Homo-oligomer: A and B are copies of this chain.
Amino acid sequence: MARRLNLEDSGFDAAFDALLTMKREVSQDVADVVAEIIADVQARGDAALIDYTKKFDRLDLGQAGLAVTAGEIDAAMGKVDAETLDALKLAHDRIQSHHARQMPKDDFYEDALGVGLGSRWTAIEAVGLYVPGGLASYPSSVLMNAVPAQVAGVERIVMAVPCPDGELNPLVLVAAKLAGVSEIYRIGGAQAVAALAFGTETIAPVAKIVGPGNAYVAAAKKQVFGTVGIDMIAGPSEVLVLADENNNADWIAADLLAQAEHDAAAQSILITDRAEFADAVEAAVENQLKTLSRAGIAGASWRDYGATIIVPGFADAMPLVNRLAPEHLELAVDDPDALLPLVRNAGAIFIGRHTPEVIGDYVGGSNHVLPTARSARFSSGLSVLDYVKRSSVLRLDADQLAKLGPAAVALAKAEGLDAHARSVAIRMNR
């Protein structure tokens, strides 16, 4: 049973603070091992990849080949049933058309002085996409990471996916093909991250690495940051459901469990204005757990990290929502539009009783890579913006330099930077 909090109880503040600061991840210190692997891949290239893959994935890349071939990808297409393939295509197309709207526009203009200013956006040239192997090898995740890169115009989208015992999920290959992935390598762990960052004989280096992974992958991404860009380091998934008593308790329970089944460290929280409705949802959770394939994981998550919070009214809930800054927020109330403007911190918002968060995981069109662990206070979900960068552009002629130069010289002198002052003044003395 999840913990119960009530905003009107005297102990609420302490209990809510405890919920906010709860550590849900045991951080493994693998930095030293990872540093060794990275140095070895830098020194020995492909040979190191072959050795680590034999050791960690029990796969002989000398036989299997480092790169997945076009023939293998075509064969994977044949292994996927028509319904799943259609669903993947629908997801791809919806993600693509939504993300196309995110493409930033160049902006060039002249100001009142005649100074030319501009912002020029260009795609990153090459991106590495890490895809976990085995059970956590999700085709939806391939789409969510690769399609925004495809939309941005990234020329090389390079996938690394470990194949434990040689196994590779055909759905992952199909998703990669749909999303325009240009190269796929059968490598994982810190060695894959090192290969993407520094390159080997076979793999040309990329400029940025994205995608989820285990503690070794996360540590490796942190260590190569600077040499390449990285995306956020994702924590366990979370949902916060605001629901009134007019909901079907079973629907809400299903949403809480959908999040909980991801990971024993996932977190599902219900905020409602009726204790009786919270009771009903809790009962529905227990009931549904009986028939769930991942009941062990989902049950542990709900027991250890789940919560129901009772508030007098939903307006009272909004400060709690913003402090929790959830990855996913469902507004399953009569008038969600009254609450929406009050949401300040949330990765993704799901409006109304017929928008379960799971739609956003797959086919809504928005991205499912979202800020966890309260980082929605300062960061956003994955988007096309993560695959482009902006150069600012400035253009003056002698006239504009004459107008702006004296102020630049004054500030340079005030900062004690004489060469700065000279670089402007020398152009004004003619």
Contact = CB atoms under 8 A, between A and B. Distances in A.
Interface of A: 83-84, 86-88, 90-91, 94, 97-98, 101-102, 107, 109, 111, 115-117, 119-120, 122, 124-125, 135, 138-140, 171, 207-208, 226, 228-229, 233, 248, 250-251, 254-255, 257-258, 260-262, 288, 292-294, 298, 340, 343-367, 370-371, 373, 375-381, 383, 385, 389-398, 400-401, 404-408, 410-412, 414-424, 426-427
A248 B359 CA distance: 62
- Which 9 A-B pairs have CB atoms at the shortest separation, nearest pair first? A229-B378, A87-B407, A351-B395, A366-B392, A380-B390, A254-B423, A87-B410, A258-B423, A261-B419
Contact of A416 (B293, B344, B354, B417): B293
Contacts of A171: 414
Nearest to A123: B344
B354 A393 contact: no
Nearest to A410: B87
B139 A362 contact: no
Given A365-B117, A394-B349, A124 B260 contact: no
Given A120-B340, A257-B419, A354-B398, 12 more contacts: A86-B410, A88-B411, A122-B345, A139-B411, A250-B426, A261-B418, A340-B393, A352-B395, A352-B396, A358-B420, A367-B392, A378-B389
A88 B111 CA distance: 19
A344 B415 contact: no
30 contacts: A83-B410, A84-B414, A111-B365, A115-B365, A116-B351, A117-B364, A125-B377, A226-B233, A229-B377, A257-B423, A258-B422, A340-B393, A348-B391, A349-B394, A357-B423, A358-B408, A358-B420, A358-B421, A359-B396, A359-B401, A359-B424, A360-B392, A361-B412, A362-B412, A363-B411, A364-B396, A371-B389, A377-B389, A380-B391, A385-B385
A340 B292 CA distance: 58
Contacts of A349: 120, 391-394
Contact of A393 (B138, B261, B351): B351
A124 B261 contact: no
Given A355-B396, A392-B360, A407-B362, A422 B254 contact: yes
B347 A426 contact: no
A377 B207 contact: yes
A424 B362 CA distance: 11
A251 to B, nearest CB: 6
**Count of this chain's copies in the oligomeric assembly:** 2
Q: Which of A344, A352, A411 has the most CB of B within 10 A?
A: A411
Nearest to A393: B349
A373 to B, nearest CB: 7
Contacts of A366: 117, 392-394
Contacts of A391: 343, 346-349, 376, 380
Q: Which of A88, A376, A385, A426 has the most CB of B within 10 A?
A: A426
A298 B357 CA distance: 57
A416 B293 CA distance: 9
B423 A255 contact: yes
A84 B415 CA distance: 10
A379 B125 CA distance: 12
Nearest to A359: B408
A396 B366 CA distance: 13
Nearest to A347: B391
A355 B393 CA distance: 10
A176 to B, nearest CB: 15
A395 B122 CA distance: 32
A240 B397 CA distance: 20
Contacts of A343: 120, 391
A98 B394 CA distance: 11
A305 to B, nearest CB: 15
A88 B343 CA distance: 36
